[in-house]
Each structure stands twice: as structure tokens, then as C-alpha cells.
Amino acid sequence: MAVSATALSSSLACFCPSSEASSSLCTLRRKPLSVLSMALPATKGPAAASSLCVAGFSANSAMEAGRGRRRALACSTPSAFPYVGRVGWHRREGNASILSSGGGDEANAGKVDEASSSSSSSSENLSAMLPFAVAATAVAALSRPSTFSWMPKEYYAPALGGIMLSIGIKLSLDDFALAFKRPLPLSVGFLAQYVLKPLLGLLIAKAFGASSMFYAGFILTCCVSGAQLSSYASYLSKGDVALSILLTSTTTISSVIVTPLLTGLLIGDVVPVDAGAMSKSILQVVLLPVTVGLVLNTYAKPVVNILKPIMPFVAMVCTSLCIGSPLAINRNQILSAEGLQLLFPILTFHLAAFTLGYWLSKLPIFRQEEGVCRTISLCTGMQSSTLAGLLATQFLGASHAVPAACSVVAMAVMGLFLAAFWGTGSRLRDLPFPLFFSPRETSCSGMPS
């Protein structure tokens, strides 16, 4: 959609009469969840300070008028945005927003923007290091068990609580309001997480004849919520990051009820499962920290600003402890012939979960765009194995935590490899496997690729 400078100036003048529009010709095209930057000359003069307005293009407010669609422009106060003096597309509640250049205290705004960028960059760097930390943890636990064998199982719950708190402080009430505005992709992701994966795990365990030592733990691993690492993987793959965060949040909260029910249904005849006690445990180590983080992010922003830079590091340390301890304690069983056979069902499960999660989203009944399909694929193949390890240790026995610990390593390596593959602009049909063949795919923007 081409918009001349004159038309843009006229539209903005309706809401911000004192603004001075640029005389350059700009071409605007709405691309959800993608960043498109453009520069406009900054306005000058005494009226500039009061002329900043935000023009938001909202798909929900699109109206047919004349020959084409005209998107309504809405003004917002500049105090709600740290992007003073910048023009570009930003993620905000699923809609693309273009911020007009203007006056204001550019020095203060620059400091806020720089601090925000620095914090975000540090968080992304730590997230990028997580797969390497996971691999290093696995090597250390198996080669030198004393590195992690000191950790008693009573520490698992606080460690997992630290991971969940790092998720909670990123959430807001607006995130859950957005969930109701996007019911279809969330429903598809939820279906893949709690219907497709448990059935897939059951079939694979039966097909490979999983040993009784690991069977229950393997099924439990297939019944837990999505992993927070999937959000970073979605970012790398150029997928729908907002959807990934919402999926992880909703599946994590619903795990209080769904995971114990699925576990009791699928393995209740193999090992006794106390669904009530399991729900209570998930409530304490999952829902409570997430709720605390949400409340802090809503009513105690200064506290969250202090916690945000350090929480990725805390989550990394807690993840390493939750992985390393069961690997170190069960080292002999893992390195035995029976334990090594566990690798095949785990690798098969994750490969099938990534693939089927993608194709489920592509079914004609759902017909999701490419970015959403990638996100659902990654969320399906990457689950919260640390939660599975905690539950297995508490309710099934230490040996049943081994599949969960092995699963963390497998999903991190496979998921981030797939995300990097997609991030380079490649497509699944480029792979030489018939399983991934696709006659026609769409790009993240919904256009044929």
C-alpha cells in the first residue's frame, strides 16, 4: 500500500494538527511481527515537542472505503513509548505500529532506548548460550558425576521455580487478552502440545519397547508443557515470537491440571500416580512463581527492571542444575546398554514432534501462515523437560528422571538447529527427506516463498 507524504501529512493532521510531515515518499506495507524501519527528517520548531503522535495500523480497524482499504489512524501519548524520535515497526499487541518522528527530550529518550536495548541484548546473548550450557552440563555430569551429584532432590523445586519466575516477569495482562484475540493458532498449539505429543510418545515407547526402568519417565516427559527455550528458537527462526510466549505461558499454567490427568491416564496402570499430589507440586513450582512474576511486572516495574537483566542467568544456572543432577546420579544406568537404547526413542520423538507440529498447522482446516507453523513446530518439539524431571524424581523414582534429562539435551540441539536452518531463509522442502517435502510453502508474510 503506497502512501504519499501529502496523504500521510493530511491523515496525521487530523489527530496532531501541529505536526510537520515529511516531504518524502514512503511506501508502507503491513507485515505482522516483522521489523521494517524507515527514517523521516526530524521536525523542528517550538511546536515539535507537542506534535509527537503515534499512528497505528490495525487489522481490526480496517474499513472498506472507495477503491481500497484505508486503515484507521489512532493517536497515543508519547509517554507510553520509549521510542521518541524513531520511526519504524514495532511489536505491540499483535499490531504493527509506526512511530512518527518528533521533538521531546531526545537525550532522555535515547538513554531509555539504549538501556532497553542493552538489557534486551544481554538477555538474548544469555539465551543464545543456553544450548551450549546444556551440552556442557551433560558432558560434565557424565564425565565427572561429582560436579552435580551433590544436589539433593529437595533443591529441584526451588531451581525450577527460578526458571518459572523468569517467565512470569515477562508476562502482562495484555498478553492474556491477546490470547483471546488469536484463538485458532493458540488452539492448534495447545492441541499439538497435549494431544499429539502424548499419543506420539505412547506409540514410540511401545514401538521401541522402552524398558520398564525408563518407560514411565519417558511418557511423563511427553505430557508436560512447552519449554521457554522455544521462544528464543522462534526468534531465531523468524517465526511468531508473541505466539510462542503465549503458548508457553498457557500450556505452563494449564499443566497444573492437564499433566497429572494425562500421566494418570497413560501410565497409571504401570506405576501408581498420585494426580492430586502432582497437581499440588506443579501449582507450587509453576503457577505460583509465574503468578508472582506477573504481579511484579504489573504493579512493581522498578523491581522487574532490576530482575530482568539477571533472570536469564538465573534460569541458565537452574536449568543446568536440574539437568546435571539426574544425569550424574543415574550415570551408570545411562551409560549401560539399556540406557543407550533410550537415545533412539528420544531422538525419534523430538524429530516426529517437530515435523508433525509443523504439518498439523499446515492442514487445510487450520491453514496457518509460515511463521505460525514454524512457531508451533518448535513449541511442539521443545517441552519443559526440567518439569518432567522434577515430577519423575518426586513421584516415580530417580531412574525415571533420566529420559527427561536426556530430552533436554536432545530438544535444545535439534530445536535450535532447526531454528537456525529456518533463520537462514531455508525451507523444509529444501531438506532431502521425503517427510519434509512440501509442494508449496508460504513465507512469514503470507506471500508464496
Which residue(s) pair with 95 in the sheet? 92
Give the number of other Cβ atoms within 10 Å of residue 154's Cβ: 9
Question: Is residue 354 located within the same domain as residue 290?
Answer: yes
Answer yes or no: is 359 within a domain: yes
Give the model confidence (pLDDT) of 132-176 as tens digits. 887 888 889 889 988 888 888 778 788 888 888 887 887 788 877
Question: Is residue 80 located within the same domain as residue 214?
Answer: no
Question: Is residue 84 located within the same domain as residue 151?
Answer: no
Report the pLDDT averaged over residues 87-92.
37
User: Measured at the alpha carbon of residue 277, what is the angle toward residues 274 and 279, in degrees to the nearest 5?
Assistant: 105
Rounded Cα distance, 23 and 109, in Å: 25
Answer yes or no: is 417 within a domain: yes
Evaluated on CA atoms 209, 212, 218, 224, the torsion sign reads positive
Question: Is residue 59 located within the same domain as residue 135?
Answer: no
Q: Please spell the DSSP secondary structure of 403-420, one letter per residue.
A: HHHHHHHHHHHHHHHHHH
Rounded Cα distance, 406 and 338, in Å: 14
**Number of domains present in the structure of the chain:** 2
pLDDT of 39 strictly over 80? no
pLDDT for 90 equals 37
Report the pLDDT averaged over residues 326-354.
86
pLDDT for 191 equals 93
pLDDT-based confidence at 42, cuts 50/70/90?
very low
Distances (CA, A) of 264 to 203, 240, 412: 17, 33, 27
Rounded Cα distance, 427 and 437, in Å: 10
pLDDT-based confidence at 415, cuts 50/70/90?
confident
Question: Is residue 41 located within the same domain as residue 138?
Answer: no
- What burial class does residue 265 get, using C-beta atoms within 10 Å of its C-beta: 0-12 exposed, 13-18 middle, 19+ buried? middle
pLDDT-based confidence at 120, cuts 50/70/90?
low
| Residue appearing with cell numbers 526402568 | 213
| Contact between 186 and 194 (Cβ < 8 Å) | no
Rounded Cα distance, 25 and 5, in Å: 5
pLDDT for 170 equals 79
pLDDT for 391 equals 87
pLDDT for 203 equals 94
pLDDT of 33 strictly over 70? no
Rounded Cα distance, 129 and 112, in Å: 26
Rounded Cα distance, 171 and 246, in Å: 9
pLDDT-wise least confident of 24-28, 84-88, 406-410 = 84-88
269: which 3 cell numbers?
Answer: 496402570
pLDDT of 111 strictly over 90? no
Report the pLDDT averaged over residues 252-264.
88
Question: Is residue 136 located within the same domain as residue 75?
Answer: no
Structural domain that includes position 72: 17-99
pLDDT-based confidence at 117, cuts 50/70/90?
low
User: Of 83-87, 91-95, 362-366, which has the strongest mean pLDDT?
Assistant: 362-366
Report the pLDDT averaged over residues 99-111.
41
Give the model confidence (pLDDT) of 383-408 as tens digits. 888 888 888 888 888 778 888 888 88
pLDDT for 430 equals 54
| Residue appearing with cell numbers 482446516 | 365
Question: Is residue 92 located within the same domain as residue 123?
Answer: no
| Residue appearing with cell numbers 503506497 | 2
Cα 340 to its chain centre, rounded Å, is 31
pLDDT for 426 equals 57
Question: Is residue 241 located within the same domain as residue 350?
Answer: yes
pLDDT of 346 strictly over 90? yes
Q: How does strand 62-65 pair with strand 54-57?
A: unpaired
Answer yes or no: is 262 within a domain: yes
Give the model confidence (pLDDT) of 171-220 as tens digits. 788 877 776 787 899 999 999 999 999 999 999 999 988 777 788 889 99
Answer yes or no: is 11 within a domain: no
Which of 99, 130, 157 is the C-terminal boundary of a domain? 99
Rounded percentage of the chain residues whose pLDDT exceeds 90: 15
Question: Is residue 81 located within the same domain as residue 179?
Answer: no
